Structure 1
């Protein structure tokens, strides 16, 4: 799927299935159903119907080569998060990523490792801005560590 293609915002239920796919992909309907049922009961046909709808929307891709259809997310978790946050930033924070970040940080405490990553991103952005966006020898790409999240 091309990056410029318009992908609809997933519903809460669709995000649940995407979370499972990002962790297990590719996965069959049965595998997705079983993973979903670890948290709450859900019918197999309900999961199948949701995946069919998500395929039509372009949120998932279905491989029909085998008897059991195999699904995978159309976009990586990182790309989907970026698209959703960009939309949220535009709609609620007048396009200001800084205001979005400040608001998010004021709502929930960040771990020391997360704060270190935030400082590294700020430093990276500061160096990039002060050198006309040319990479410097001291700048490093920002990486997100999910292991410290609650």
Structure 2
């Protein structure tokens, strides 16, 4: 993902739908969005057109009903958002981010095991 492309909150909602579905029409995305918030169809359409112009989405325009899919991966979007949060909110401190995250949100036993395994691999890369 290009570092100059930063999806807005509304764009991330659409991306999340497309990451789950793989591809969808504006109508399908709009129906998913309206399950959690009020939104007009034309607003969804315009936002997806803007996202296409920003190279966040691609579309198949060869048929009457355009089908859209994400051009950015969830992982790349998460990395960009996390880098921004670490650098702006936590002044570059990854440790402060992790401490805050674990202090504010209870991690499950499985999540804690995954974190421990990751830290072990990080500390002992030759294992």
Q: Give the drift of 1:79.
A: 1.4
Q: Assess if the C-alpha contact under 8 Å between 2:3 and 2:80 holds in 1.
A: no
Q: How many residues align?
A: 127
Provide the TM-score with structure 1 as the length reference. 0.77
Any gaps of 5 or more consecutive residues in structure 2? none
Q: Hey, what does 2:18 align to over in structure 1?
A: 21
- Of Structure 1 and Structure 2, the greater helix share is in 2
CA distance in 1, matches of 2:107, 2:26: 36
Say which structure, 1 or 2, has more relative contact order (CA 8 Å, 6+ apart): 2
Q: Hey, what does 2:32 align to over in structure 1?
A: 35
Any gaps of 5 or more consecutive residues in structure 1? 129-135, 139-150
Correspondence 1:77 to 2:74: yes
Query: Which aligned pairs between 1:70-149 and structure 2 lie closer than 5 A?
Result: 70-128=67-125, 136=126, 138=127
Q: Assess if the C-alpha contact under 8 Å between 1:7 and 1:58 holds in 2.
A: no
CA distance in 1, matches of 2:111, 2:57: 30
Deviations 1:29-77 (A, max 9, x none): 1110111122223221111001011112222222212221111112111
CA distance in 2, matches of 1:24, 1:7: 26
Provide the TM-score with structure 2 as the length reference. 0.90
Q: Hey, what does 1:44 align to over in structure 2?
A: 41
SS in 1 for 2:63: coil
Q: Assess if the C-alpha contact under 8 Å between 1:7 and 1:57 holds in 2.
A: no
Moved more, 73-82 or 95-104: 95-104
